[in-house]
Amino acid sequence: MEPRSSCIIVVHQLINKTQMSGTPRHDQEMIKKAEASLSKTTDPLERLRLQCLAKGSAGIKGLGKVFRIIDGNNTRTLDFKEFLRGLHIYSVTIDEAEAKELFQLFDKDGSGKINFDEFILTLRPPMSNARKEVVLKAFQKLDKTGDGVITVDDLRGVYSGQHHPKYLNGDWTEDQVFRAFLDNFDSPYDRDGKVTTEEFMNYYAGVSASIDTDVYFILMMKNAWNL
Domains and CATH numbers, the chain: 24-123 (1.10.238.10), 128-225 (1.10.238.10)
Confidence of residue 13 (pLDDT cuts 50, 70, 90): very low
116 or 146, which is more confident? 146
Contacts from 211-220 at CB under 8 Å and sequence distance 24+? 211/26, 214/128, 214/130, 214/131, 217/131, 217/134, 218/130, 218/131, 218/134
- Contact present, 64 and 86 (Cβ < 8 Å): no
Indicate the pLDDT class of residue 53, thresholds 50, 70 and 90. Answer: confident
pLDDT at site 32: 85
Q: Tell me the range of 53-57, 160-164, 177-181 where mean pLDDT is highest.
A: 53-57
Mean pLDDT, rounded, for 87-98: 91
In sequence order, the β-bridge partners of residue 150 are 195
Asked if 208 contacts 125 with a C-beta cutoff of 8 angstroms, the reply is yes
**Residue 5 pLDDT more than 80?**
no
Average pLDDT for 42-60: 87
Secondary element (H or E) of residue 92: none
How would residue 82 be classed by pLDDT, with cut points 50, 70 and 90?
A: very high
Element (H, E) at 113: strand 113-115
pTM of structure: 0.62
> Which whole number is the average pLDDT over 32-42?
87
pLDDT at position 191: 67
Distances (CA, A) of 22 to 14, 16, 25, 136, 193: 11, 10, 10, 26, 19
What would the 3-class secondary structure string for 163-219 be? CCHHHHCCCCCHHHHHHHHHHCCCCCCCCCCCEEHHHHHHHHHHHHCCCCCHHHHHH
